[in-house]
């Protein structure tokens, strides 16, 4: 019987071990947001490494958003913003050649759930924020319809902002964290659709309907309208003749292929 061969174990650099050890303390709750890290010399003695190794480990923690510096003071534990987490999640999805079909299917689960949660939990401040977003989008649409040059980038930013506000006021951080990388990856596709089909007014009208559902605290209707909104996005995508099952990095470049429908 042939013996199984194991691959060689790679030894992590010392600074990475410092990073891992401090990260474990943060995730366990033993180090809390706002707590200062011990001095570099103290950490070096505790870990049995030199100060430059500790410094490099702390630098990685800063890059991850787990630690922040306030001027010349000692680094403190911080909470990474979900946008920072989403950027790495979005890159992971791209590297795995995720398709528009997969992204849209995920959004059809997330977005209606977020809209429903938002209708249940939105307060006056959240409604005011959504209303201001819709007003800004309306001004953008009117400028386009008045023969002025449409600012597609600004419109897409407002569109994304509307969905981000919904995720925030929904009060479910898991949904918000899961939602962010999906929304980020829709941006290039949204720009292509808007530039080709000029669907500015249609998007605005959908947002108004969803806003009214939230204002009325009608969670079921909010879910239904968000489902319609996302399905409308799918139909617009199909009209552009972009490839349904192409990797998103190809779609973002406007590459078209024969679209495969369900």
The answer, as to whether pTM is greater than 0.75, is: no
Residue 36 lies in domain: 14-77
pLDDT of residue 51: 93
Bin 97: left if φ > 0, else alpha if -120 < ψ < 50, else beta: left
Can you list the positions of beta strands (E) in the chain?
Answer: 67-68, 76-77
57 and 145 co-located in one domain: no
Residue 5 lies in a domain: no
- How confident is the model over 113-168, as pLDDT tens digits? 999 999 999 999 999 999 999 999 999 888 877 665 667 888 999 999 999 999 99
23 and 105 co-located in one domain: no
Strands 67-68 and 76-77: antiparallel
Is residue 259 pLDDT above 60, yes or no? no
126 and 38 co-located in one domain: no
pLDDT of residue 160: 93
Residue 249 lies in a domain: no
> Rounded to 5 degrees, what angle do the CA atoms 236, 191, 198 make?
55
106 and 69 co-located in one domain: no
70 and 90 co-located in one domain: no
Specify the long-range contacts of residues 235-238, CB closer than 8 Å, at least 24 apart: 236/193, 236/197, 236/199, 237/100, 237/104, 237/189, 237/193
111 and 182 co-located in one domain: yes
98 and 53 co-located in one domain: no
């Amino acid at each position: 019987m042939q013996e199984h061969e194991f691959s060689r174990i790679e030894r992590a650099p010392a600074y990475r071990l410092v990073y891992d050890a401090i990260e474990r303390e943060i995730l366990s709750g033993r180090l809390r947001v706002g707590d200062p890290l011990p001095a570099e010399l103290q950490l070096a003695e505790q870990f049995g490494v030199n100060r430059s190794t500790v410094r490099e480990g702390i630098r990685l923690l800063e890059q991850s958003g787990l630690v922040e510096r306030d001027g010349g003071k000692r680094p403190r534990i911080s909470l990474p913003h979900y946008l920072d987490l989403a950027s790495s999640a979005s890159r992971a999805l791209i590297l795995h050649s995720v398709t528009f079909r997969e992204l849209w299917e995920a959004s059809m689960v997330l977005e209606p759930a977020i809209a429903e949660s938002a209708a249940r939990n939105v307060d006056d401040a959240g409604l005011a924020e959504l209303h201001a977003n819709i007003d800004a989008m309306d001004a953008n649409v009117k400028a386009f319809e008045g023969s002025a040059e449409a600012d597609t980038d600004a419109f897409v930013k407002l569109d994304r902002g509307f969905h981000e506000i919904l995720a925030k006021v929904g009060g479910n951080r898991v949904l918000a964290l899961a939602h962010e990388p999906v929304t980020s990856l829709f941006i290039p596709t949204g720009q292509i659709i808007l530039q080709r089909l000029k669907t500015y007014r249609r998007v605005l009208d959908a947002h108004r309907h969803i806003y009214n559902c939230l204002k009325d605290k009608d969670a079921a209707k909010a879910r239904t309208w968000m489902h319609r909104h996302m399905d409308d996005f799918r139909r617009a995508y199909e009209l552009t003749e972009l490839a349904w099952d192409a990797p998103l990095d190809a779609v973002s470049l406007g590459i078209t292929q024969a679209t495969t429908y369900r």
